[in-house]
Chain A
Amino acid sequence: MVVQALKDQGVEVVFGYPGGAVLPIYDEIFQQNDIRHILVRHEQGAAHAAEGYARSTGKPGVVLVTSGPGATNAVTGITDALMDSIPMIVLTGQVPTFAIGSDAFQEADTVGITRPCTKMNWLVKDTDNLGQTIHEAFHVATSGRPGPVLIDIPKDVQFASGTYTAPKQMQSHYAPKVKGDAEMITALVEAMEEAERPIFYTGGGVINSGTAASQLLREFVDETGFPITSTLMGLGAYPASGKSWLGMLGMHGLYEANLAMHGCDLMINVGARFDDRITGRVSDFSPHSQKAHIDIDPSSINKVIHVDMPIVGDVAHVLEDALRIWKSRGRKTNKAGLEKWWKQIADWKAVRCLSYEPSKKTIKPQYALERLEALTKGRDRYVTTEVGQHQMWAAQFLGFEDPNRWMTSGGLGTMGYGFPASIGVQIAHPDALVINVAGEASWLMNMQEMGTAAQYRLPVKQFILNNERLGMVRQWQELLHGERYSHSWSESLPDFVKLAEAFGAKGFCVSDPADLDEAIMEMLAYDGPVLFDCLVEKHENCFPMIPSGEPHNKMLLSGASTSDAIKEGGAVLV
């Protein structure tokens, strides 16, 4: 019945790992060909692969794992999906109903453990409820603010036969509001007509809302001529080559984006959540602006930053209404104000905040990404990342022209996300170029998935910026802990080329900037999984940087004096 329900939901791929408590479902999977099962090497990998699949397709990812350790191993991936609002359905096996509570073999209180890290979860004790629950789970995961849901299915419930509920008969009272309040949208349009220094601040909500939302956003931005910046999660909603693009904002965002946020008089937040990586010191966050906030989740509004124009609704619906109202009122903007504003922004851009000291001897990580960008531009490209310096550099130096092309762990910041996510992306887009920009430490956290990549001959390119350090940890220790680099170096690293070969994949190791282009071209030409060990400058810091506890206008640029940058109050922040 589980497999039937998944088919009826249009599921094509399931990422999973079998075990005792899910054997009946695996038996069903064995006897059909509609749903493809991808065998991962660890349940965390299954969850991240499903995230990559979901993020790159807009469809929910499906995970199937066993009880006990199967479920607990998936918890990190589930939490990651919750933080980044990724639709995901996790099916876990459970010990038979009569054994629940007896500390049975491989028993864990899965619904208890995952209650705070799912949008909703269910323990199904009666086979008759299984169909309804699975269909409701898809509805909940994909409606409103998307998120992971989990269904725990005891083994006896899997074995028993019962009455199946078809998707059409599914009942659910869960129906989040998608239309924004018309009066508030009109107020926003009025503010847009008058604003001298407006800015669009967009986030992952635009991507989650679907491609229509990105289209509407592009039209709105281009028609109004307002500058636009985006969070890490929202990259690609507006094209990086667009004329109004300021680049990413936030802790490692661009100088011009952060100063524009600080100095604006109208901030239009579209599907972002005023995360602490964005706001810096909350009391000094954009102190002179009126703020509008479009979000489908009412609890996001006024959570961190008090806003003047809260609009609860789906981004695409609200943008459509706002655009229509703005056009019907005569497409007005404050031209004189905007001209001055862009002039100011041009001055900030002239600072060239991403510049770095080039080197002929060692590969600078920024240079490696510049070359990767140049050599893959225009291709059907998807990028995933792990977490750390390389992630921020990738966000700064790679340009995204379309939504759903950039998969990264934003909210939870999960090292080990990128490799399995790249597998999920490649499964969804077999012919596309999929690159995981990684650090060597993050990559090792889920390196077992080399087995998966090799088994399914997935040509995922693992582009490892290897500085033999936990780069971001090292950077913080330099700034915050008197250069005492406690356990932030990667001792006993494997030989990545041999490691690749051991899995039947291809390995490259490059340390000379002069060899970089050719090696990247070789990597791109190779039709199979690649481990690209790019040995980079070991002590490079990621700039610009807003030290924790500081406001946007206190950014550190490269080469700036970094000693004492973080004050006592900021030191306790993460």
Chain B
Amino acid sequence: MAALKLKKGLSKHSAYDLKDPNAEVIETHTLAVLVENEAGVLARVIGLFSGRGYNIESLTVAEVDHEGHRSRITIVTTGTPSIIEQIKAQLGRLVPVHDVHDLTVEGPSVERELALFKVEGTGDERVEALRLADVFRANVVDSTLNSFTFEITGPSDKIDAFADLMRPLGLKETARTGIVALARGEKG
């Protein structure tokens, strides 16, 4: 600005100084969105993400309060801190959304995922699969002479680790629920 002879950064309070120095770092956040359980509400939430180009890493949804017509949508999303803030603000202004919680920043939380793995094998491999399942506290929920179906619950990285171990032992099919999460502590 030649006319004013201002130097860049002259003002102590420039908005640009307030930027998080790590602003461009991509973060992963788990959001819990409490919504009115009505037709189209999930489409509204998903449409927001696709329409504005946000990422969904994982998404789960189910009714949690039948009387109050409430569903809980748990979304794991990634983005820069400013994008995450936008996502929360955009979700918050949808009419059927009651509440948006960012479990990643609102203190400690418990995150769990459930997965089913079908593992095919015979002999040593079959025995090894069963032994590892025991280590991971996975349950056998179905079996044939040549296969096991394991059920495992835990944080996503534990499930990833279990899947990695099962792969060489004949992993055939995987089903995962995506993350559900609650804040720790007594407050609801």
Q: Measuring CB to CB, which residues of chain A are less than 8 angstroms from any residue of chain B?
A: 111-112, 115-116, 119-121, 123, 140, 144-145, 173-174, 176, 197, 259, 262-263, 265, 287-291, 297-299, 301-303, 305-308, 344, 347-348, 553
Contact assessment for B6 and A288 in the assembled complex, using a CB-CB cutoff below 8 Å: yes
| Count of chain A to chain B residue pairs whose CB atoms are closer than 8 Å in the complex | 80
In the bound complex, how far is the Cα of B95 from the Cα of A173, in angstroms? 9
Contact assessment for A288 and B89 in the assembled complex, using a CB-CB cutoff below 8 Å: no
A196 to chain B, nearest CB (A): 10
In the bound complex, how far is the Cα of B26 from the Cα of A138, in angstroms? 40
Contact assessment for B4 and A344 in the assembled complex, using a CB-CB cutoff below 8 Å: yes
Given A115-B40, A115-B43, verify A303-B86 contact (CB < 8 Å). Answer: yes
A265's partner among B11, B36, B82 (CB-CB below 8 A) is B11
In the bound complex, how far is the Cα of B44 from the Cα of A111, in angstroms? 10
Contact assessment for B1 and A263 in the assembled complex, using a CB-CB cutoff below 8 Å: yes
In the bound complex, how far is the Cα of B22 from the Cα of A378, in angstroms? 55
Report, nearest first, the 6 A-B pairs whose CB atoms are least far apart: A299-B89, A120-B95, A290-B13, A306-B15, A263-B4, A298-B89
For this complex, 5 residue pairs linking A to B, each with C-beta atoms less than 8 Å apart, are: A111-B40, A119-B95, A288-B9, A288-B10, A289-B11
Given A115-B40, A262-B1, A288-B8, verify A308-B47 contact (CB < 8 Å). Answer: no
Given A263-B3, A297-B93, verify A302-B11 contact (CB < 8 Å). Answer: no
A173's partner among B18, B40, B47, B98 (CB-CB below 8 A) is B98
Which residues from B are CB-within-8-Å of A197? Answer: 4
Chain B: which residue is nearest A267 at the CB level? Answer: B15
Chain A: which residue is nearest B20 at the CB level? Answer: A306
Which residues from B are CB-within-8-Å of A348? Answer: 3
Contact assessment for B93 and A115 in the assembled complex, using a CB-CB cutoff below 8 Å: no
Chain B: interface size category: 20 to 34
Interface centre among B19, B82, B93, B98 (most CB of A within 10 A): B93
Which residues from B are CB-within-8-Å of A303? Answer: 86, 89
Contact assessment for B15 and A307 in the assembled complex, using a CB-CB cutoff below 8 Å: yes
Which residues from A are CB-within-8-Å of B16? Answer: 287, 306
Contact assessment for B8 and A140 in the assembled complex, using a CB-CB cutoff below 8 Å: no
A262 to chain B, nearest CB (A): 6
Contact assessment for B90 and A290 in the assembled complex, using a CB-CB cutoff below 8 Å: no
Contact assessment for B3 and A290 in the assembled complex, using a CB-CB cutoff below 8 Å: no
Contact assessment for A174 and B11 in the assembled complex, using a CB-CB cutoff below 8 Å: no
In the bound complex, how far is the Cα of B9 from the Cα of A287, in angstroms? 8
Which residues from A are CB-within-8-Å of B36? Answer: 173
B101 to chain A, nearest CB (A): 15
Contact assessment for B14 and A288 in the assembled complex, using a CB-CB cutoff below 8 Å: yes
Contact assessment for B10 and A301 in the assembled complex, using a CB-CB cutoff below 8 Å: no
Which residues from A are CB-within-8-Å of B96? Answer: 120
In the bound complex, how far is the Cα of B51 from the Cα of A298, in angstroms? 18
Chain B: which residue is nearest A286 at the CB level? Answer: B15
Chain B residues 29-47 with CB under 8 Å of chain A are 36, 39-40, 43-44, 47
Chain B: which residue is nearest A287 at the CB level? Answer: B8
Contact assessment for A288 and B18 in the assembled complex, using a CB-CB cutoff below 8 Å: no
Chain A: which residue is nearest B39 at the CB level? Answer: A123
In the bound complex, how far is the Cα of B19 from the Cα of A287, in angstroms? 13
Contact assessment for B93 and A263 in the assembled complex, using a CB-CB cutoff below 8 Å: no
In the bound complex, how far is the Cα of B6 from the Cα of A174, in angstroms? 46
In the bound complex, how far is the Cα of B39 from the Cα of A42, in angstroms? 30
Which residues from B are CB-within-8-Å of A288? Answer: 1, 6, 8-11, 14
Tell me if B85 is interfacial: C-beta within 8 Å of chain A: yes
In the bound complex, how far is the Cα of B96 from the Cα of A287, in angstroms? 38
Which residues from A are CB-within-8-Å of B170? Answer: none
Tell me if B92 is interfacial: C-beta within 8 Å of chain A: yes
In the bound complex, how far is the Cα of B14 from the Cα of A119, in angstroms? 34
Which residues from A are CB-within-8-Å of B19? Answer: 306
Contact assessment for A299 and B93 in the assembled complex, using a CB-CB cutoff below 8 Å: yes
Which residues from A are CB-within-8-Å of B86? Answer: 299, 302-303
In the bound complex, how far is the Cα of B92 from the Cα of A288, in angstroms? 32
Contact assessment for A174 and B95 in the assembled complex, using a CB-CB cutoff below 8 Å: yes
